[in-house]
A and B are shown apart, each in its own frame.
Chain A
Amino acid sequence: AQTVTQSQPEMSVQEAETVTLSCTYDTSESNYYLFWYKQPPSRQMILVIRQEAYKQQNATENRFSVNFQKAAKSFSLKISDSQLGDTAMYFCASQGAQKLVFGQGTRLTINP
């Protein structure tokens, strides 16, 4: 069975700071994908970044990057130069052969 755990229910930082959101996962599959999704107050789920498990290089999308530690089954998201528009729920998710499993989410607030 796949599980995804986000240990930080809430985080708060000042605008322009860097913040890291934690995620650990467990899966028995050898081929899988990992994702971070953002859910702003509108509740639309937006894909932030993806990582293929077979790739050692950490994925990067502009201000968003991940630290993928496959042996430790860790997949953290770093947001650099945080902006007010980054305020949202962030969900870590693991895609296996059967389904996409989500963590409980981290509520991130960026303060002006």
Chain B
Amino acid sequence: DGGITQSPKYLFRKEGQNVTLSCEQNLNHDAMYWYRQDPGQGLRLIYYSQIVNDFQKGDIAEGYSVSREKKESFPLTVTSAQKNPTAFYLCASSIRFFNEQFFGPGTRLTVL
């Protein structure tokens, strides 16, 4: 079955540590995205990638980094520079940029 997987489902981090969230898709989509969702709010764009080896900052990129070395994978690193990282993180992909996006199941990150 084609789809988007995110791991882990729950992640706990101590303050000052970097942590990497995984996102993999087997839909052969060119574009991939990372969003952050805080309680009671909509999604905000962190980073996006239109093609392999290319990515762009979204609205709230500070304290985050990404890579896109393979078409299927778009990992997100939450660095210690992110002041309030506790949130729900959603990865999405679309066949091309500007097409409808399909979402993974999300990762809940909690900073202890």
Contact = CB atoms under 8 A, between A and B. Distances in A.
B90 interface: yes
A59 to B, nearest CB: 12
- Interface of A (DSSP majority class): strand
B42 A91 contact: yes
Interface residues of B, number: 20
Interface in B79-112: 88, 90, 92, 98, 100-103, 105-106
B61 to A, nearest CB: 12
Interface in A66-112: 91, 95, 97, 99-100, 102-105
Interface of B: 33, 40-45, 48, 58-59, 88, 90, 92, 98, 100-103, 105-106
Contacts of B45: 99-100
Interface string A46-59: 11001000000000
A97 B27 CA distance: 22
B105 to A, nearest CB: 5
B103 A104 contact: no
Contacts of A91: 42-43
Interface residues of A, number: 20
B98 A105 contact: no
Interface of A: 4, 33, 35, 37, 42-47, 50, 91, 95, 97, 99-100, 102-105
Ranked nearest first, the 8 interchain pairs of A and B with the lowest CB-CB distance are A102-B42, A45-B103, A102-B43, A104-B42, A43-B106, A44-B105, A99-B45, A105-B42
A103 B43 CA distance: 8
B22 to A, nearest CB: 17
Contacts of B44: 102
